[in-house]
Structure 1
Amino acid sequence: MSNLNTKDIVNKYDFKFAKSLGQNFLTDDTVLEDIVAGAAVCKDDYVIEIGPGVGTLTVELLGKAKRVTSIELDDRLIPILTEELKDYETFNLIHKDALKVNYTELIGDEKSVKVVANLPYYVTTPIIANLLNGEYNFKSLTIMIQKEVAERIDAEPSTKDYGAFSLLVQYYCDTAIIRRVSPSCFIPSPKVDSIVIRLDKLEKPRISVKDEKLFFNVIRQSFNMRRKTLWNGMKNIGLEKEKLEKAFNTAGIDPKRRGETLTIEEFGKLSDAIYDQKNG
């Protein structure tokens, strides 16, 4: 169990929550334990924690990992974390925006790296996208996020939650939902349920494509206007009509379909066919 208590620390330092930073701190020890267990942290692991709050999850991680580096943006939390965690030799604190950190530098020669984060809702998507697109050498990302975002990550084709973000995560990771967390487990209580989800990085992307940038552009264009057909979505892809028709034929995909009905494999086929027409 954590020897830090969130409410006690908040009171001790008279900490005032910043709405602009979307701060909700966990107060339930069982959730902390489930996050660490769900992340499968062990003594071989170097853990990078994003958004440590007052350090309650950090202490749980320090008890299991080889070492922990926490990244915190809020100036007011730095002295609190420094003081409360001063006895832990394997703890390192970085005062920075997690979107501006050079993770390659941070990871260095470490072979078993796990990222754990309790993210403010407004930065969830950019941080996940940044970590995945950066192709950093980490094994898994275990995050507590808004239930709606977790549903988007885990969505299947032809569902309302399925979109470009679902495909980005599926391209790089397998996913596992660890647990749901109710608003009562936080101070202050958010208005929505949260979910702890683990993204396990695949050894190599789920499918092989000829041009990754084009592949993600095809996906983006397909979802820009969800109700439009693929044919309409591909109008900005930079191919004349005849070549675009050929690309759809080669890929074996009906241009009247909507983007939300395509699997990741079908998006791969379509983007490769477009690539061949562009470069043929």
Structure 2
Amino acid sequence: MRNKAVATPTRTKEILDTYGFAFKKSLGQNFLIDVNILKNIIEHAGIDRESGAIEIGPGIGALTEQLAIHADRVVAFEIDQRLLPILENTLEAYQNVSVINQDILQADVREVMELKFKEGQPVKVVANLPYYITTPILMKLLMDRLPVESITVMIQKEVAERMAASPNSKSYGSLSIAVQYYTEAEVAMTVPKTVFMPQPNVDSSVLHLKMRHVPPVEVENEEFFFDLVQATFGQRRKTLMNNLARHFKATMDKQQIRVRLDAAGIDPGRRGESLSMEEFAELARHFYEK
């Protein structure tokens, strides 16, 4: 018979006490203690009996257990060696889970997918990510262009809002463009800090990213495009002209920048936050030199 779900305050405390586990602040460990929230995450992720699931940072197995119940197979990457014996215990009833003791930023995820999932199987990433390393992890997954259908992650509320933001909003910036270039992003739900142990200082949100097969705009050089976008947000209160003049000061004067902005049909007095992705692509077309 299965024990009580891992994601309850009493069971979590019991597991931590049994193993004498101490949270490592440096790894941003906050464990979920609410089964209903986990079931909601799995629903938003669209996990079913056909799905393969990749989890990052399983902790003591709260989300892993729910994924094992709902998915065909689960692969979880855990960096903290101290958690391996705990996971072995909490997940012993599930034969469809593999735990890999590796830093996701160093892992060859594509190779792991080939080894662990069936050919052609729909694979989704589902995770409760450590706040301090959310952006590097997501950008690695996106830039590696992994063959996954979607990424559904619990992250800091403010970061989720930035990733899903639209132009002309306070949250919109270079991160919004980077994420939305690869995915369709939406904030699926907000999660109060009270459902974590230990409690973080801020609320969280579940962000659902549906992978795009092709980016929404065509750019000649992606690295240049993202650099240019970042430059326009260099100092948020400054105009495009000022930010671009600062960025290109070694290669262009203001007159040359103005000519390119005019050619792109973009007013130099605008700010980066007012530009759509299409306008950024247009800007990149006129500034890119092979």
TM-score normalised per structure 1: 0.93
Q: CA RMSD in A?
A: 1.7
Matches of 1:221 and 1:121, distance apart in 2: 25
Q: 1:97: Cα distance to partner? A: 1.1
3-state SS of 1:100 partner: coil
Matches of 1:27 and 1:256, distance apart in 2: 49
The residue aligned with 2:69 is 63
Aligned length: 277
The residue aligned with 1:42 is 48
Matches of 1:163 and 1:51, distance apart in 2: 27
Matches of 2:238 and 2:107, distance apart in 1: 38
TM-superposition CA deviations, 1:75-123 (whole Å, max 9, x none): 1101111222233221111111111111111222454110011011101
Give the stretch that moved more between structures: 80-89 or 42-51.
80-89
Matches of 1:30 and 1:176, distance apart in 2: 20
Matches of 1:179 and 1:227, distance apart in 2: 31
TM-superposition CA deviations, 1:7-48 (whole Å, max 9, x none): 332232222111121111000111111111111101221111
1:230 and 2:240 are equivalent in the alignment: yes
The residue aligned with 2:286 is 273
User: Which residues of 2 match residues 94-243 of structure 1 at below 5 A?
Assistant: 94-108=100-114, 109-235=119-245, 236-237=247-248, 239-241=251-253, 242-243=255-256
Identity over the aligned pairs, expressed in percent? 42
Q: 1:151: Cα distance to partner? A: 1.2
Find 1:24's aligned residue among 27, 30, 34.
30
Q: 1:243: Cα distance to partner? A: 4.0
Q: 1:219: Cα distance to partner? A: 0.4
Q: 1:134: Cα distance to partner? A: 1.4
Confirm or deny: 8 A CA contact 1:173 1:206 kept in the other structure. no
Give the stretch that moved more between structures: 242-251 or 218-227.
242-251
Matches of 2:209 and 2:124, distance apart in 1: 10
Matches of 1:51 and 1:105, distance apart in 2: 19
Matches of 2:47 and 2:98, distance apart in 1: 17
Aligned letter for 1:41?
Answer: I
Matches of 1:194 and 1:8, distance apart in 2: 25
Find 2:277's aligned residue among 264, 268, 271.
264
Matches of 1:9 and 1:74, distance apart in 2: 16
Confirm or deny: 8 A CA contact 1:211 1:272 kept in the other structure. no
Confirm or deny: 8 A CA contact 2:31 2:62 kept in the other structure. no
Would you identify which runs of 4 or more consecutive aligned residues in structure 1 move more than 3 Å? none
Matches of 1:224 and 1:153, distance apart in 2: 17
The residue aligned with 2:94 is 88
Mind listing any 5+ residue stretches in structure 2 that lack a counterpart? none
Matches of 1:263 and 1:198, distance apart in 2: 21
Matches of 1:121 and 1:267, distance apart in 2: 29
Matches of 1:243 and 1:44, distance apart in 2: 55
Mind listing any 5+ residue stretches in structure 1 that lack a counterpart? none
TM-superposition CA deviations, 1:214-249 (whole Å, max 9, x none): 110110111122122212222334643354333212
Confirm or deny: 8 A CA contact 1:178 1:198 kept in the other structure. yes
